[in-house]
Amino acid sequence: MPLTTDLTDRVPHWAQLHYMGAMGRPFLKMNGTGNDFVVVEARSAPFAPTEAEVRAIADRAAGIGCDQLIAIEPAGEGADAFMRIWNADGGEVAACGNATRCVGWLLAEAGGRDRVTIATAAGPLVAERVGERQVRVDMGPPRLDWRDIPLAEEMDTRGIELQVGPIDDPVLHTPGCVNMGNPHVVFFVPEVAAAPVRQVGPMIEHHRLFPERTNVNFAEIVSRDHIRLRVWERGVGETRACGTGACAALVAAARRGLADRKARVELTGGDLEIEWRESDGHVLMTGPIEVEFTGVLP
């Protein structure tokens, strides 16, 4: 049975959790702005769940419940660890911004440092503690070419030829596309609370234009430095927050002249500060992390 002990004074002692391995695989339940994860230590013992096992762990009714399952694995020279990510549907993905902040905080706490490098399938990411359980991640530059999203055909990713609804009166149209380690499409809506996220999200996720499927974002521009956002995550469904989605929304809005290069992105689970830095084109994401409980996988 999962333990529900508060980890405020125990999280740095990751070795203590690893020692429990003989009893079953230990995990930490964490969230970044409401985007929640089951995090497993796998640096000394391999962890290779099947798709069915990932789905069982992520199941909110019968399992532990999470948006993503995360394994912290050994990394080569130049990184503190490798982060492997599975979505709730069992599929492995390359990047997750909020998970990077959570894992970054764990590694920094365990090592007594403020800055760590995390290797991912999308490339290395640098995480830095910038306050009490506040973490900033350098997500690197956005990928904006149609082949990098990827799209099935050549289009201007500032606004692709895609609409939902009647041709002469579409409900949604001309979204921007950004790859932040995973593919995102961003629709701009007048009121995000009324956006048809659950109706349109699955349809766009599996649209023929996106050979690797896509995350679907619905962004309301409140002001040039404030964006409200809801996200349908590929392989997960609507989530309380999506870090790469927040980055994609800011980049897509800035490219269209709708927002500045730095803004507060307001999500259901809380706020993230996103900056698309002019000096090197990198996207920085800052926000809170939370440790919920620890347990042992059955």
Element (H, E) at 98: helix 97-111
Look up residue 112 and give its two tokens: 């007594």
> Which value, to the nearest 10 degrees, does the dihedral of the CA atoms of residues 93, 31, 66, 87 take?
-10
Euclidean distance between CA atoms 175 and 205, whole angstroms: 13
Residues 6+ apart with CB under 8 A from 213: 183, 205, 206, 234, 235
SS3 of 169, please? coil
Euclidean distance between CA atoms 52 and 58, whole angstroms: 10
How many CB atoms are closer than 10 A to CB 80? 22
Place of tokens 């306050």: 131
Nearest to 204, CA basis, from 185, 223, 179, 218: 185
Distances (CA, A) of 272 to 98, 216, 292: 10, 18, 19
Euclidean distance between CA atoms 105 and 194, whole angstroms: 35
Question: Catalytic pick from 66, 96, 102, 247?
Answer: 96
Question: Catalytic pick from 66, 177, 242, 247?
Answer: 242
Nearest to 85, CA basis, from 287, 98, 13, 76: 98
| Spacing of C-alpha 138 from chain mean position | 13
Judge whether 247 counts as a catalytic residue. no
Place of tokens 């041709």: 167
Which residues are tagged catalytic? 96, 242
